[in-house]
Amino acid sequence: MKKNNRGFSLVELMMILGALGGVSLLVMNLSKQTIKSSAKLQFDTDVTLTTNEINGILSDPAKCLATLQTTATPASINNGKYYITSSASAPAQGYGNSGLMITSYTLTGTAPDGVLTILYQNKNILKGSSGAANISKKINLYIEGSPGAITKCRASSTSTTDIWSHGTGNDIFYLGEVGIGTTSPGYKLDVTGDIKSSGVIYTTSLQYTSDKRLKKNIAPIENALEKVSSLRGVRFSWKSNNTKDVGFIAQEVKKQIPEIVKYDVNRDVSTVDYARLVPFLVEAIKTQQEEINKLKNKINEMQR
């Protein structure tokens, strides 16, 4: 076999060139894949940054209302200084060269739970970049009114899970259930244990658990009239702020109806559960009414 000056035959030389070509092709493919992966990472990063910025803007109730008050499909998000627009030709503001574009904003949901869906488009897909052509992100909102006719709103989260959100001043909001002393709250505020308030509590309804299925050793209250008659209602002023008030003296109530008096060890004070006084009042009234009816019957007999 004929060889060249370096001792390689033509066949060997062709094999070497073929191997080099294969290596070159592999390097080119790896380089392209690296570029695609880098472009996808840049796009994903830009999506996250843009979504976070929009969430931050909509966390301000005034800016949220300015954006969504009259439309469920706003053309842009207004942060007071510039707009993050959504259109086929306007890229989201200020985030690199990933080809990121926002094609639409859409508000859905029923008060108080609203969801703003942001649809992103990766223009680099058209150039052979890897990744999805369209990606959607959701921002949870607290809303009053309905999409297209919002009266109040503020962002809660950049994901589908509820988180704390700051409003104006020191206001803090949460769209889900808040649990204190429990890991599975079933109400907007679910507390296991006692609650203390130094001010007035306002509510339209206050419900006490009273299901018969939860009780045992049920017995009537005895001598209710005697116990209630022994209570002393008083007027007084609180030492802490000199505010005038009316009520009972806990130590006096405890002597007659100890079940409704509780000692607060943390504050070293005695308290009265006024609501639990109601069953004693009911039984006292019933006893009193029985005595009144007996007297009526006696009077009727005397008048015959």
162-178 pLDDT tens trace: 455 555 555 555 656 78
Q: Are 103 and 83 in contact (CB under 8 A)?
A: no
Domain termination residue (choose one: 180, 203, 233): 180
Residues 140 and 45 in one domain: yes
Q: E strands, 158-202, where?
A: 164-166, 172-174, 178-180, 189-191
Among 136, 190, 182, 142, smallest CA distance to 165 is for: 142
Query: What is the distance of C-alpha 163 from the center of its chain?
Result: 5
3-state secondary structure (DSSP) of residue 63: helix
Residues 18 and 166 in one domain: yes
Q: Which of 26-40, 141-155, 251-265 has the lowest mean pLDDT?
A: 26-40
What is the pLDDT, as a whole number, of residue 35? 44
User: Structure tokens of 303?
Assistant: 């008048």
The residue segments making up the domain with residue 32 are 12-180
Q: Is residue 192 assigned to a domain?
A: no
215-252 pLDDT tens trace: 999 999 999 999 999 999 999 999 989 999 999 999 99
Q: Is residue 105 assigned to a domain?
A: yes
Residues 279 and 175 in one domain: no
Residues 96 and 150 in one domain: yes
285-300 pLDDT tens trace: 999 999 999 999 988 8
